[in-house]
Structure 1
Amino acid sequence: MKNNSSIFSAGTRVTRILFLFSFCFLSLYTYAINASKYAQEKTLTVKVQNKTVKEVLDYIEKNSEFIFFYYNKAIDTKRSVSMHVKDKTITTILDRLFEGTDVQYEIKDRQISLKKGSVQQRPQDKKQQKRKLTGKVVDEETNEPLVGVSIVAVEENRGIITGIDGSFSIEVYNNTKLQFSYIGYKKQILLIENQPILNVRMQPDNAMLNEVVVVGYGSQKKGNLTGSISSVKSEDLTVAPIATVSNSLAGRLPGLIATQSSGQPGSNSAALNIRGFGNALVIVDGIEASLDNIDANQIESVSILKDGAASIYGARAGNGVILVTTKRGINQKPIITLNSTFTWQGATSMLKPASAGQRAEMEREKHLQAGLPESSAPFTEEAVQKYYDGTDPLYPNTDWYKVLIRDWAPEQQHNISVRGGSEKIKYYGFFGYLNQQTMIKKNGGKYERFNFQSNVDAKILDNLTLQIDLGYTQEQRDYTTRDMSPGLNNMWQDYWNTLPYYPASLPDPNKVSYAYGAGTGGLHVSSNRELSGYSDTKNEDLRGTASLEYKFKAVKGLSLKIFESYRKVNMFGKTFTKPVQLYTYEPNSDTYTLAGTSGGNKATLSQSVVQESTFTQQYSLNYDNHFKDHHLTAMALLECIDYSSNTLLAGRKDFMTTAIDQMFAGSAVGMTNNGYASEMGRMSVVGRINYSYMDKYLLETILRADASAKFPPGKRWGYFPSVSLGWVISKEKFMSGIDFIDNLKLRLSYGQSGNDGVGNFQYLSGYSYGHAYLFGDESMQGISPTGLANPNLTWEKIKISNVGIDFSFFDRKLYGEMDAFYRERTGIPGNRLASLPSTFGAGLPPENLNSLNDRGFEIKLGTSGQWNELLYDISGNISWSRAKWKYLEEAELTDPDQARIYLKSGKWTDRVFGYVSDGLFTSQEEIMEAPHYEALNGNATLRPGDIRYKDLNDDGIINWKDQTDIGKGTTPHWMYGFNVALAYKGFDLSALFQGAFGYNQLVASNQLSTLLYEERWTSINNNSNALFARLGGSSSNSWQSDFASKKAGYLRLKVASLGYNLPKHLIEKCKLSNVRLYLSGTNLLTFNKLGKYGIDPEAPNVGCYYPQQRTISLGVNVSF
Structure 2
Amino acid sequence: MKKFLLNFLLTGSLMAWILLPVAAQTSSRSITGKVADVNGDPLIGVSVVLKGTSSGTITDFSGSFTLTSNSSNPVLLVSYVGYTTQEVVVKSSPVNIVLTETSEQLEEVVVVGYGTQRKKDLTGSVSVIKSDELTSLPVPSISDAMQGRAAGVQVISSGTPGSDATFRIRGTGTINDSNPLVVIDGVPVSGGLNQLNMDDVESLQVLKDASATAIYGSRGANGVVIVTTKRGTQGVEKSNLSFNYSYALQQPTNVVEMLNASQFAQLQNEMLTNGGQVPNPAFWDPQSLGVGTNWLGEIFRTAPMQNYSLSYSGNSEKTNYYISGNVLNQEGIVIGTGFKRFSLQVNADSKVNSWLKVGNTILLNHDLKPSGSYSIQNAMLALPTQPVKRSDGSYSGPVAQPIYDGDIENPVGKALTVENLTSGYNLMGSVYAELELMKNLKFKTTYGLQANFWDSRTWSPTYKWDTSINSSAYLYQRYNKSITWLWDNTLSYEKTIGDHRVGIMAGTSAQENRNNYINASVKKFASETTQQLDNGIEQPTNGGNTSSWALLSYMGRVNYSFADKYLFTATIRRDGSSRFGSGNKFGTFPSASAAWRISEEDFMRDIDIFDDVKVRAGYGVTGNQEIGNYSFASSLNTYVYNFNNTIVSAVVPVVMPNPYVQWERQKQGNIGIDATLLNQRVDVSIDAYLKNTDKMLVPMVVPVSTGYSDIYVPSINAGEMQNKGIELTINSRNLTGKLKWNTSFNISFNQNKVISINDTIPMSSGSIGLNYNLALIKAGLPVNTFYGFMTDGVFQTQEEVDNHAVQVPGNDPFNRTSAGDIRFKDLNNDGVINDDDRTYLGNPNPTVIFALNNTFAYKGFDLSIFLQGVAGNQIVNANRFWSEAMAVAQNQTIATLNRWNGEGSSNSVPRAIFNDPNKNTRPSDRFVEDGSYLRIKNITLGYTMPAQIIQKIKLHSARFYISGQNIFTFTNYSGFDPEVGVNGIDNNVYPVTRTFTVGINLGI
Counterpart among 1020, 1029, 1042 of residue 925 in structure 2: 1042
Aligned to 2:997: 1113
Shift in alpha-carbon separation, 1:681–1:839, aligned structure 2, 3 A: closer
Shift in alpha-carbon separation, 1:1107–1:1051, aligned structure 2, 3 A: same
Residue 248 in 1 paired to residue 148 in 2? no
C-alpha RMSD of matched pairs (Å): 3.7
In 1: Cα distance, 2:109 partner to 2:913 partner: 61
In 2: Cα distance, 1:717 partner to 1:1087 partner: 49
1:741-770 C-alpha deviation (Å, 9 max, x unpaired): 011111111111112222333333442223
Give SS of 1:734's match.
helix
Shift in alpha-carbon separation, 1:850–1:524, aligned structure 2, 3 A: closer
TM-score scaled by length of structure 2:
0.85
For residue 939 of structure 1, report the CA deviation from its aligned partner: 12
Shift in alpha-carbon separation, 1:938–1:818, aligned structure 2, 3 A: farther
Q: Which moved more, 1:565-574 or 1:842-851?
A: 842-851
Shift in alpha-carbon separation, 1:343–1:943, aligned structure 2, 3 A: same
The answer (yes or no) to whether the contact 1:351–1:1009 under 8 Å persists in 2 is: no
Residue 948 in 1 paired to residue 823 in 2? yes
Aligned to 1:279: 179
In 2: Cα distance, 1:205 partner to 1:1013 partner: 57
Shift in alpha-carbon separation, 1:1029–1:682, aligned structure 2, 3 A: farther
Residue 430 in 1 paired to residue 324 in 2? yes
Aligned to 1:475: 367
For residue 697 of structure 1, report the CA deviation from its aligned partner: 0.6
| Aligned amino acid, residue 627 of structure 1 | I
Aligned to 1:592: none
Counterpart among 750, 753, 767 of residue 881 in structure 1: 750
Counterpart among 345, 351, 356 of residue 459 in structure 1: 351
Aligned to 2:221: 318
| Aligned amino acid, residue 827 of structure 1 | K
Aligned to 1:917: 791
Aligned to 2:555: 686
The answer (yes or no) to whether the contact 1:330–1:422 under 8 Å persists in 2 is: no
Counterpart among 927, 936, 951 of residue 1053 in structure 1: 936
Aligned to 1:17: none
Residue 563 in 1 paired to residue 451 in 2? no
For residue 244 of structure 1, report the CA deviation from its aligned partner: 0.9
1:56-85 C-alpha deviation (Å, 9 max, x unpaired): 9521598456642248xxx9x9xxxxx999
Q: Which has the higher contact order (CA 8 A, sep 6+)?
A: 2
Aligned to 2:630: 761
Aligned to 1:1062: 945
For residue 351 of structure 1, report the CA deviation from its aligned partner: 1.6
Shift in alpha-carbon separation, 1:832–1:341, aligned structure 2, 3 A: closer
The answer (yes or no) to whether the contact 2:296–2:376 under 8 Å persists in 1 is: no
For residue 267 of structure 1, report the CA deviation from its aligned partner: 2.7
In 2: Cα distance, 1:477 partner to 1:84 partner: 52
In 2: Cα distance, 1:938 partner to 1:813 partner: 75
For residue 947 of structure 1, report the CA deviation from its aligned partner: 2.4
1:257-306 C-alpha deviation (Å, 9 max, x unpaired): 1112x422223634444433321111111222211221111111111111
Stretches of structure 1 lacking an aligned partner (at least 5 in a row): 1-40, 78-82, 99-183, 194-201, 391-396, 485-490, 584-594, 894-900
For residue 873 of structure 1, report the CA deviation from its aligned partner: 1.2
| Aligned amino acid, residue 413 of structure 2 | V
Residue 789 in 1 paired to residue 663 in 2? no
Counterpart among 162, 185, 192 of residue 266 in structure 1: 162
Aligned to 2:540: 671
Aligned to 1:973: 847
In 1: Cα distance, 2:676 partner to 2:501 partner: 24
Counterpart among 882, 902, 905 of residue 1006 in structure 1: 882
Alignment of 1:544-623 (within 5 A): 544-553=429-438, 556-583=439-466, 595-597=467-469, 600-623=470-493
The answer (yes or no) to whether the contact 1:45–1:87 under 8 Å persists in 2 is: no
Give SS of 1:310's match.
helix
The answer (yes or no) to whether the contact 1:85–1:93 under 8 Å persists in 2 is: no
In 2: Cα distance, 1:752 partner to 1:721 partner: 6
Aligned to 1:343: 248
TM-score scaled by length of structure 1:
0.76
Give SS of 2:920's match.
helix
In 1: Cα distance, 2:77 partner to 2:483 partner: 57
For residue 217 of structure 1, report the CA deviation from its aligned partner: 1.1
Counterpart among 868, 871, 879 of residue 997 in structure 1: 871
Residue 986 in 1 paired to residue 860 in 2? yes
Give SS of 1:526's match.
helix
Aligned to 2:4: none
For residue 1106 of structure 1, report the CA deviation from its aligned partner: 2.2
1:145-182 C-alpha deviation (Å, 9 max, x unpaired): xxxxxxxxxxxxxxxxxxxxxxxxxxxxxxxxxxxxxx
In 1: Cα distance, 2:598 partner to 2:649 partner: 74
For residue 1027 of structure 1, report the CA deviation from its aligned partner: 5.5
For residue 628 of structure 1, report the CA deviation from its aligned partner: 1.1
Aligned to 1:354: 259
In 2: Cα distance, 1:717 partner to 1:1057 partner: 50
In 1: Cα distance, 2:164 partner to 2:360 partner: 32
Give SS of 2:193's match.
coil
For residue 986 of structure 1, report the CA deviation from its aligned partner: 0.9
Shift in alpha-carbon separation, 1:44–1:610, aligned structure 2, 3 A: farther
Give SS of 1:365's match.
helix
| Aligned amino acid, residue 291 of structure 1 | L
In 2: Cα distance, 1:525 partner to 1:985 partner: 53
For residue 447 of structure 1, report the CA deviation from its aligned partner: 1.2
| Aligned amino acid, residue 1024 of structure 1 | S
Stretches of structure 2 lacking an aligned partner (at least 5 in a row): 1-26, 92-98, 400-404, 763-774, 884-889
| Aligned amino acid, residue 1006 of structure 1 | W
Aligned to 1:933: 806
Residue 1080 in 1 paired to residue 968 in 2? no
Give SS of 2:362's match.
strand
In 2: Cα distance, 1:448 partner to 1:892 partner: 46
Shift in alpha-carbon separation, 1:679–1:402, aligned structure 2, 3 A: closer
In 2: Cα distance, 1:1059 partner to 1:259 partner: 27
1:656-709 C-alpha deviation (Å, 9 max, x unpaired): 222222334333x53222222112211000111111111111111101000011
For residue 253 of structure 1, report the CA deviation from its aligned partner: 0.5
Give SS of 1:758's match.
coil
In 1: Cα distance, 2:705 partner to 2:941 partner: 69
In 2: Cα distance, 1:813 partner to 1:577 partner: 62
The answer (yes or no) to whether the contact 1:274–1:280 under 8 Å persists in 2 is: no
Q: Which moved more, 1:250-259 or 1:948-957?
A: 948-957
| Aligned amino acid, residue 823 of structure 2 | R
Q: Which moved more, 1:262-271 or 1:566-575?
A: 262-271
Identity of aligned residues (%): 28
Number of equivalences: 920
Aligned to 1:233: 130
Shift in alpha-carbon separation, 1:507–1:715, aligned structure 2, 3 A: closer
Residue 368 in 1 paired to residue 273 in 2? yes
Q: Which moved more, 1:681-690 or 1:207-216?
A: 207-216
| Aligned amino acid, residue 310 of structure 1 | T
In 2: Cα distance, 1:286 partner to 1:400 partner: 48
Give SS of 1:715's match.
coil
The answer (yes or no) to whether the contact 2:881–2:921 under 8 Å persists in 1 is: no
Shift in alpha-carbon separation, 1:795–1:405, aligned structure 2, 3 A: closer
For residue 792 of structure 1, report the CA deviation from its aligned partner: 2.2
For residue 1025 of structure 1, report the CA deviation from its aligned partner: 4.7
1:500-551 C-alpha deviation (Å, 9 max, x unpaired): 3233333334x443357976740221121xxx24221111111221100001
For residue 314 of structure 1, report the CA deviation from its aligned partner: 0.8
Residue 69 in 1 paired to residue 61 in 2? yes
Give SS of 1:254's match.
coil
Residue 1024 in 1 paired to residue 909 in 2? no
Aligned to 1:109: none
Give SS of 1:503's match.
coil
| Aligned amino acid, residue 945 of structure 1 | G
Shift in alpha-carbon separation, 1:187–1:465, aligned structure 2, 3 A: closer
| Aligned amino acid, residue 563 of structure 1 | T
For residue 42 of structure 1, report the CA deviation from its aligned partner: 9.0
